[in-house]
Amino acid sequence: MIFGRKKSLEGKINIEGVYPFDKDIFTQGLIKCNDDIIVSSGHYNTSFVGKLDLNNGKVNNKKKLEKNFFAEGIVSNNDFIIQLTWKENIAFFRNPETLEIEKYEHYAGEGWGICYDEKYLYISDGSHCLKRINNQNFQIEEIMEILYEGNKLNKLNDLEYYDGYIYANVWKSRYIYKINLSTKRVERIFNCAELINYCKKINRNINELNGIAHIKDNLFLISGKNWPRIFLVRLT
């Protein structure tokens, strides 16, 4: 929801590439890890993680979760790819090359999105709060309230970190919110309506905007649940 947004907060989205994407992917997380693009797909009985080939939209080295797990956001902390689960309170730590599970950790509350700032992990749970997590022991160190123009920014979902900011999807919103980690306030918003409309012309049955992967500088890959395309965009 946008609370009477200020024009000065609206950023620009420049599309610099459009790639095929598998519309059966219920995108819950999207990251760049080394030279790979990793995607996490949700739903019970069909959740998986795999490596995305941007040339054809196919997912390689796909690793399915057991049927009672609903996959959510993913992140690389340089040692592992960490994959959250929705209500199962378990984070899987995967080998970045093979994607095999090497260990797991428990956490309280729901898991939605996750990102890493080279020191701490940050987890969203669908509320207006982010949990700052110790990267060594996976314990909560701080619960951060995120505000947009003085209001609570609820339904925080997929997260991506870059250069002092967290870029966040909000569930069922067409906007990406750029959150200053120091102030815990939104400093810029990006309207993804053009991307959504592009995909709806191909497949009217797409679901929410979800999935932000930082590539380099201000370049990001952006997609959504059951989208037939994934976009390389510059956010300014």
What does the buried/exposed string (b/e) look like for 24-43 if buried means 16 or more CB atoms within 10 Å of the residue's CB?
ebbbbbbbbbeebbbbbbbe
Buried b (16+ CB within 10 A) or exposed e, 59-90: beeebebeeebbbbbbbbbeebbbbbbbebee
State the DSSP string of 168-179. Answer: EEETT-SEEEEE
Low-confidence ranges of the chain (pLDDT < 50): 1, 3
Pairwise CA distance, residues 154 & 142, whole Å: 18
CA distance 47 to 68: 9
Longest dimension (CA), the chain: 47
Under 8 Å between Cβ of 27 and 223 = yes
Tokens of 167: 């870029």
- Rounded (10°) CA dihedral 50, 214, 161, 94: 20
How far is Cα 107 from Cα 73, in angstroms, rounded to an integer? 14
**Cα separation values, 43 from 66, 85, 91, 166, 226, Å:** 11, 10, 16, 25, 12
Tokens representing 66?
């057991």
| Nearest in space to 176 (alpha carbons), one of 164, 184, 188, 185 | 188
Give pTM, 2 decimals: 0.94
Please count the other Cβ atoms lying within 10 Å of the Cβ belonging to residue 164.
10
Residue-wise pLDDT tens digits, 79-116: 999 999 999 999 999 999 999 999 999 999 999 999 99
- Predicted pLDDT at 7: 61
CA distance 135 to 123: 12
Give 195-206 pLDDT, tens digit per residue: 999 999 999 999
Q: How far apart are the C-alpha atoms of 36 and 150, rounded to whole Å?
A: 38
Contacts of 142 (CB under 8 A, 6+ apart): 131, 132
State the pLDDT at residue 8: 76
